Structure 1
Amino acid sequence: MRNRLESLSRLPLRENLVGLSPYGAPQIDVPILLNVNENTHGVPAEVHRAIVDAVQAAALGLNRYPDREFTELRGNLARYLGGGVTADQVWAANGSNEVLQQILQAFGGPGRTAIGFPPTYSMYPLLASATDTRYVTAPRDASFRLEAGYVAEEVSSSGANIVFLCSPNNPTGTALGLDVVEAAYEAGAAARAIIIVDEAYAEFSHAGTPSAITLLPGRERLIVSRTMSKAFALAGARLGYLAAAPEVADALRLVRLPYHLSAITQAAANAALTHSATLLANVEAIKVQRDRIVTELAALGLNPAPSDANFVLFGGLADPQRVWRGLLEAGVLIRDVGIPGHLRVTAGTESETTVFLESLKRLL
């Protein structure tokens, strides 16, 4: 890979991409994969059959382009979200990363600025670079939480055109209060800033944790992005979506590639949405294991961050790399997210979580 990057330097690459490394987590063949926040429960047999049937039917028409407006899918996503969201408020693409990229293509670009609050999702600066959007940061405090006043001040002083708010936040798992979203929206009024609330892990939130979808009415600059990769166990299908004012979808139509959602993707997503209750039943089981991880790590003297996601970030490690390697040797792959003294683990099945916890105890 290093030789490839050196060869790349001989090409006339855009200046803001020089020296960057592509996004990616280690892909290692081990028995227990708990490093990229996948849904380890897999697709239930009932839903698998429905997806196979839908894809088989769609395959009969692959000689034709798919529905460019993915009309059925937008309707199904709107019904799933509820809360008064209508089909014309919904947009979808190949994973939430493509949704975010299209937002930056439409509202970012040269001469415009995006702001993020690290530690947060590491794709935000990469998406900014790819669209030639300046990216600035305002760090979180030691608890990884954000206060409304702080966010408002940073949004206002940066003059940001795009604001990334991740809730629950990746990699920390912390959720935002709606007051933070409201404060960011008001602070961005002068710059007409687009406020993106990335809710990729929203379905794993504790009961009572609010969604920014409730704030959409009357806020045409607010976007709430979601994904079917996590709670719906469809990471391999690549389907992300957003809810916003209808004019946001109109803006994204200007930058999307023609027929960007394949007939196969649409068929798989529609089939899954008709069985959402079955798929979301596993979410509750995952939340049980997540809370178990938090409790047991604290009992070991570590510092797990409170999590509303399907993963747990934990600190208090004198040598995270030694622990990471030791777990890998035990057949468990977790994630080093680059925060000193910390590692992140996905909440797996009960048996996977047990192996992780027992292996970690031995290492400590």
Structure 2
Amino acid sequence: MTATGATDAAWPPIRPELRGLEPYGAPQLDVAVRLNTNENPYGPSEAVAADIAAAAGRAAVGLNRYPDREHVALRQALAAYLERDTGVALDVDQVWAANGSNEVMLQLLMAFGGPGRTALGFTPTYSMYPEYARGTSTTWVTGHREADFTLDLDHVRALVAEHRPSVVLMPSPNNPTGTALAPETTDVVCTAAAEVDGLVVIDEAYGEFRRTGTPSAIERLGAHRNLVVSRTMSKAFALAGGRVGYLAAAPEICDALRLVRLPYHLSSLTQAAALAALDHADELLGRVADLRAERDALVDHLRGAGLQVADSDANFILFGRFDDRHAVWESLLAQGVLVRETGPEGWLRVSVGTPDENQAFRDALAATLKENVRP
């Protein structure tokens, strides 16, 4: 017993539902080829890095003052970028940004979830969603995806009607499968959720990697006032270390997030770095086409090796199926290639890397399969 009368097993006095849980996080191992966290393998050029550093330097002389808590300049720049990417013109009051799309999601559940409210997702899906729900005391309910990882719209309607979710979380492309939502799915889900006063959050963290002909859900914002589309600068903009996420939604939704955001939640340095990166959008996004081509070639290679591969609109690929996926993961790791052991049982996920990294993965996988670790 401690001086307060509590047993050591009950210390510290954490919320009961958190006791014994492990924090989220992919393995961070020092290996030659890291293809497990869907990072952009191409960092900013020296010229872009220099401009980001210069912008941070200019902001640094004013660090004795708080940043613009409305981050107006950044929101204007993000709105201009989204118009360029999707063809949809957005006002600055339709855009909101935060420290990574993780904070965007957390703010949404803080404002629209909470005790007595429900968030709905469809597995397999991003493993952080239930943690956002848990952290905001929002009940988490999951439906299922079909064998090809698409959604049965009748199943979606039925779950929305049954559980009346305040928030529906749907990635497109989906993580970990890479599956993009069909346009009609967005309309059906938004219509169903509107009948129960729910929001639909479509997480387009990997949206820039979508294949030609796959539209962004941003194109449907004008049709559904309950639609929120989130994006990030971590992937296509190679700014994972900068932690900048953002969303597009109705102005009323953005206003609601002001009620739950922390004061001055985006630092002056973060805003400066993001604005500088957006100034170099052409260069930073120039590698997206290369990564798409590498992805498609890797999909063909994996299928040619006799593996099952999910269609991908992202910068990663889900492949399998293995009787013992952990053995495959360990074999690849022993050869210096780190992939992600995630998704449905029997599947692994590999991020698309540079041509050399992708070849190292191919070689390691071929050696693994030769050792009779067969699908």
Q: CA deviation at 1:159?
A: 1.1
Q: CA deviation at 1:148?
A: 2.7
Q: Does residue 221 in structure 1 map to residue 226 in structure 2?
A: yes
CA distance in 1, matches of 2:94, 2:154: 29
Q: CA deviation at 1:21?
A: 1.8
- Cα offsets for 1:171-199 (capped at 9, x unmatched): 00000012111111111123210100000
Unmatched segments (≥5 aa) in structure 1: 1-5
The equivalent of 1:31 in structure 2 is 32
Q: Does residue 41 in structure 1 map to residue 42 in structure 2?
A: yes
Q: CA deviation at 1:162?
A: 0.6
Of residues 252, 260, 269, the one that matches 2:274 is 269
- Cα offsets for 1:220-279 (capped at 9, x unmatched): 211000000000000000000000001111000000000000000000000000111111
Q: How do residues 204-219 of structure 1 correspond to structure 2 at under 5 angstroms?
A: 204-219=209-224
CA separation of 1:361 and 1:108: change in aligned 2, threshold 3 A: same
SS in 2 for 1:188: helix
The equivalent of 1:10 in structure 2 is 11
CA distance in 1, matches of 2:249, 2:283: 27
CA distance in 1, matches of 2:286, 2:45: 10
Q: CA deviation at 1:8?
A: 7.5
Q: What amino acid is the match of 2:112?
A: F
SS in 2 for 1:314: strand
The equivalent of 1:19 in structure 2 is 20
Structure 1 residues 315-324 or 259-268, which shifts more?
315-324
Is the 2:124–2:176 Cα contact (8 Å) retained in structure 1? yes
Q: CA deviation at 1:78?
A: 0.1
Q: Does residue 251 in structure 1 map to residue 256 in structure 2?
A: yes
Q: CA deviation at 1:218?
A: 4.2
SS in 2 for 1:91: strand
Q: What amino acid is the match of 1:339?
A: P
Q: TM-score, normalised by structure 1?
A: 0.96
How many residues are matched? 359
Structure 1 residues 165-174 or 9-18, which shifts more?
9-18
Is the 2:180–2:313 Cα contact (8 Å) retained in structure 1? yes
The equivalent of 1:197 in structure 2 is 202
CA distance in 2, matches of 1:78, 1:186: 25
CA RMSD between the two structures: 1.3
CA separation of 1:9 and 1:204: change in aligned 2, threshold 3 A: farther
Is the 1:148–1:179 Cα contact (8 Å) retained in structure 2? no
CA distance in 2, matches of 1:148, 1:271: 42
Q: CA deviation at 1:52?
A: 1.0
CA distance in 1, matches of 2:291, 2:10: 44
Unmatched segments (≥5 aa) in structure 2: 1-6, 370-375
The equivalent of 1:171 in structure 2 is 176
SS in 2 for 1:36: coil
Q: Does residue 131 in structure 1 map to residue 132 in structure 2?
A: no
The equivalent of 2:152 in structure 1 is 147
Q: What amino acid is the match of 1:224?
A: V
Q: Does residue 241 in structure 1 map to residue 241 in structure 2?
A: no
Of residues 316, 326, 333, the one that matches 1:328 is 333
Q: What amino acid is the match of 2:80?
A: R
Is the 1:153–1:187 Cα contact (8 Å) retained in structure 2? no
Is the 2:40–2:236 Cα contact (8 Å) retained in structure 1? yes
Structure 1 residues 129-138 or 285-294, which shifts more?
285-294
Is the 1:164–1:196 Cα contact (8 Å) retained in structure 2? yes
The equivalent of 2:125 in structure 1 is 120
Is the 2:176–2:343 Cα contact (8 Å) retained in structure 1? no
CA distance in 2, matches of 1:356, 1:295: 14
- Cα offsets for 1:19-47 (capped at 9, x unmatched): 32211011100111100000011112222
Q: TM-score, normalised by structure 2?
A: 0.93
Among all aligned residue pairs of Structure 1 and Structure 2, give the percentage whose two residues are the same amino acid: 53
